Structure 1
Amino acid sequence: MAPPLAPSLAQLRALVAVADAGGFGEAAAEHGVSQSTLSEAVARLEALAGRPLLRRTSAGTVPTEAGLRALVHARSAVQAASDALLAAQEEGTLAGTLRVASFRSTATHLLPPALAAFRAKHPGVGVILLDAESCGGGAEAVRAGRVDAGLILADEAPDLRLTPLVLDEYLFAAPVTRGPQPVTLADLSAQPLILPPQRDSCHQRVRRYLTARGVPLTHITEVEQDSVTLSMVGHGLGVTIMPRLALLPLPPGLIALPLPDPLTRPLALAVLPHRAALPLLRAFTATVLESVERLGTPHKAPEVREPSAPLPQRAAPN
């Protein structure tokens, strides 16, 4: 009996492209191919699988249950094919495209100098910077192969290869008329608290902090944009607790003070463990670390953390 035919990389790429774009037309436009080419490739793949892998809905084209299972291996196969060439590169002549997911705050304050230095060293590499929230979260985007590296919260992804960067301290922000006196737990419940939506990791971290200290959570207003939150605080509509990097630059009329007990978020650069040795990712990681050091952010000598290894404690940035 003849062995079953194996799918081609072109067919697997078509499946991934359509699933990620949410439609054949969208994927064709994004990748510069005809819609009929993608349709034919997916149809042949489905014939090999013996069942539908994608289905059209009112919200777009989505994977079937079988398609979801197939996508895990399709992404790995497509990535492995590309990595075979990336692994053969020399660090002095790197080329290709690097996709990086980041929080808005780290993309604003930590990454630009690193990206500038990386471009100067490796002009043949193009960098695509993506908002972590828009791609399903930085850690999940790394796991799924949608990005090559992600700026993430290290304690939420023990399965990834982590390079710790800094501890970003949370601060209490209020109108400057409050004065510089130390923040108390009573201050945290005296006015409405403005936080990001509950799905946001910062909301969850702050909520755990307050709950553990018995602060009532009865007056929380959820706001999507940090800039809107700070504007509301400036107009006396409440107070907020926000990471230092998200507060910078602090708008006029506001004051930022330490919390009664420290609260931080451990920021790290994450990659898939089996991809960490690729010259492209190794060079990018080194450049980010060098850039953090040049910014003068206090931290101990960074240590790469293997999957499931505990993170060391580091000093919070000033």
Structure 2
Amino acid sequence: MATGVNLAQLRALVAVAENGGFGSAAEELGISQSAVSHAVAALERVVGGPVLHRVGRVRPTPLGERLLPHARTATASADAVAAIAARHRGSPTGTVRLAAPTTVCQGLLPGLLGEWSAAHPRVKVRIFEGEDDELDRWLAAGTVDAAVLIDPDPAPAGSLLLARDSMHALLRRDHPLAGQPVVDIQDLEDDAFLLSEGGCERHIREVYRRTGGRFVPTHRIRDVGTLISMVHAGIGVSVMPALAHAMLPPGCVLIPLRPRVHRRLVLTGPADRPWHPAVTALVATAAVVDGLRTG
């Protein structure tokens, strides 16, 4: 007879839901797939119904969706207790789920992950790549423990400004303006403009607002990789943050844009609850890493 919910069951539910399957959840938790299945089955006996759809893509049932926020909170709190104890002993530990936009994942995080691994070998960082407008919702909901937010206002107490990332014109290398040291936004009005709807639209609108120029995107593209491929194919031009440089093929260039507009990239934990101690350690480490600010 079931006696109650335990952390192992909740960890199994969260891991399967976030990884989309029992095998990948088992790998993350460091246990067998059978153990994950047994833990989920035990949880279902306790709560009186299925928490996961097992046919086709594994996903939470309505009951599972209701349980997930509480499961995340419970497991995060348990991890925080363990991390506080480890920090008291002199070494932070635990898993930090970190959300960041695509350009940050490609242009900024690889270096930081190396620094964090060297400084805190017992802390594991899991990256969740998302759109700009998703990140604060994930952080507020407890889906992640930390995030790199774009222009938070106000920035949560204890957060860190990682970079001021300026907007650049994205052009094919053979574009007539590609060799210029700086490009005025008005100079792009004769080209088809590709707008990434995944983020930075308000920064691009601000560039046009400052000059009184016409903002009339020809194409609206959600995926940043697709947008870059279209510029590379000669379909048009775009405006992207400097960190997108890490994503460019050899046939594309980023040119500083005038007027100058930038976005602030802020590393933070949640605003409404205590931070996982390992998040605090990561923020402190990032604060002493040179070369993050992009201009």
**TM-score normalised by L of structure 1:** 0.72
Pair 1:81-2:78 in alignment: yes
The C-alpha deviation readout for 1:95-149, integer Å capped at 9, x for no partner, is: 3444433334334443344444333333x32443525139x95434444545432
Shift of 1:223: 6.9
The C-alpha deviation readout for 1:209-248, integer Å capped at 9, x for no partner, is: 658956242512537345x655654564321101012135
Q: 280, 283, 286: which one pairs with 1:282? A: 280
8 Å contact from structure 2 (residues 145, 276) kept in 1: no
Q: Which residue of 2 aligns with 1:295?
A: 291
Change (3 A) 1:94 1:218: closer
Change (3 A) 1:290 1:84: same
Shift of 1:74: 0.9
Change (3 A) 1:62 1:117: closer
Q: Which residue of 2 aligns with 1:49?
A: 47
Shift of 1:267: 0.6
Q: Which residue of 1 aligns with 2:255?
A: 256
Shift of 1:83: 1.0
Kindly provide the amino acid, as one letter, of the partner of residue 192 in structure 2: P
Shift of 1:77: 0.7
Measured in 1, the distance between the counterparts of 2:50 and 2:247 equals 51
Q: Which secondary structure state, in structure 1, belongs to the residue aligned with residue 152 of structure 2? A: helix
8 Å contact from structure 1 (residues 75, 145) kept in 2: yes
8 Å contact from structure 1 (residues 194, 223) kept in 2: no
8 Å contact from structure 1 (residues 98, 125) kept in 2: no
Bigger shift: residues 11-20 or 152-161:
152-161
Q: Which secondary structure state, in structure 2, belongs to the residue aligned with residue 155 of structure 1? A: coil
Which runs of 5 or more structure 1 residues have no equivalent in the other structure? 298-316
Alignment size in residue pairs: 286
Measured in 1, the distance between the counterparts of 2:258 and 2:98 equals 31
8 Å contact from structure 1 (residues 166, 267) kept in 2: yes
Q: What do you get for the CA RMSD once the two structures are aligned? A: 3.7
Shift of 1:184: 4.9
Q: 151, 168, 172: which one pairs with 2:169? A: 172
Q: Map 1:118-267; keep pairs closer than 5 Å.
A: 118-122=116-120, 124-133=121-130, 137-155=134-152, 162-174=159-171, 175=174, 177-178=176-177, 180=180, 183-184=183-184, 186-196=186-196, 198=197, 200-203=198-201, 205-206=203-204, 210=208, 213=212, 215-220=214-219, 222=221, 224-226=223-225, 229-230=227-228, 232-233=230-231, 236-247=234-245, 251=250, 254=253, 256-260=255-259, 262-267=260-265
Measured in 1, the distance between the counterparts of 2:92 and 2:78 equals 17
Change (3 A) 1:277 1:255: closer
Q: Which residue of 2 aligns with 1:33?
A: 31
Q: Map 1:91-130; keep pairs closer than 5 Å.
A: 92-122=90-120, 124-130=121-127
Change (3 A) 1:86 1:48: same
8 Å contact from structure 1 (residues 172, 257) kept in 2: yes
Q: Which residue of 2 aligns with 1:64?
A: 61
The C-alpha deviation readout for 1:65-92, integer Å capped at 9, x for no partner, is: 2221211111111111111111122374
The C-alpha deviation readout for 1:126-182, integer Å capped at 9, x for no partner, is: 443525139x95434444545432222133897796433332111223355226387
Measured in 2, the distance between the counterparts of 1:15 and 1:81 equals 15
**TM-score normalised by L of structure 2:** 0.77
Kindly provide the amino acid, as one letter, of the partner of residue 257 in structure 2: P
Which runs of 5 or more structure 2 residues have no equivalent in the other structure? none
Q: Which secondary structure state, in structure 2, belongs to the residue aligned with residue 190 of structure 1? A: coil
Q: Which secondary structure state, in structure 1, belongs to the residue aligned with residue 176 of structure 2? A: helix
Q: 268, 271, 278: which one pairs with 1:270? A: 268
Shift of 1:296: 7.1
Shift of 1:285: 0.5
Change (3 A) 1:237 1:56: same
8 Å contact from structure 1 (residues 54, 62) kept in 2: yes
Shift of 1:48: 2.7
